[in-house]
Amino acid sequence: MVAINGEKVQAQGKTIGQYIEEAGYNKDRVVVEINMEIIPKDKLDTIILNEGDSVEILNFVGGG
């Protein structure tokens, strides 16, 4: 299992880019962190999710 935005999901073995697209996130509008490390956009399709990874998929929202 991989923890994505706090939820445990079966995503190990997929690239993070693949997961993002399948789950329905807007790939151009998110920034990804895996185990506290920022993933550059051009690495999304090469980095494979491993069992126990902790992933944050973030985007901008309205704020002051």
Residues near another protein (CB under 8 A): 5-6, 23-26, 29-31, 33, 36, 38, 40-41, 56-64
Question: Least distance from C-beta 20 to another protein, angstroms?
Answer: 9
Neighbouring C-beta atoms of residue 15, cutoff 10 Å: 16
How far does Cα 56 stand from its chain's mean position?
6
Question: Least distance from C-beta 53 to another protein, angstroms?
Answer: 16
Question: Least distance from C-beta 3 to another protein, angstroms?
Answer: 12
Q: Which two tokens stand for residue 59?
A: 């985007």
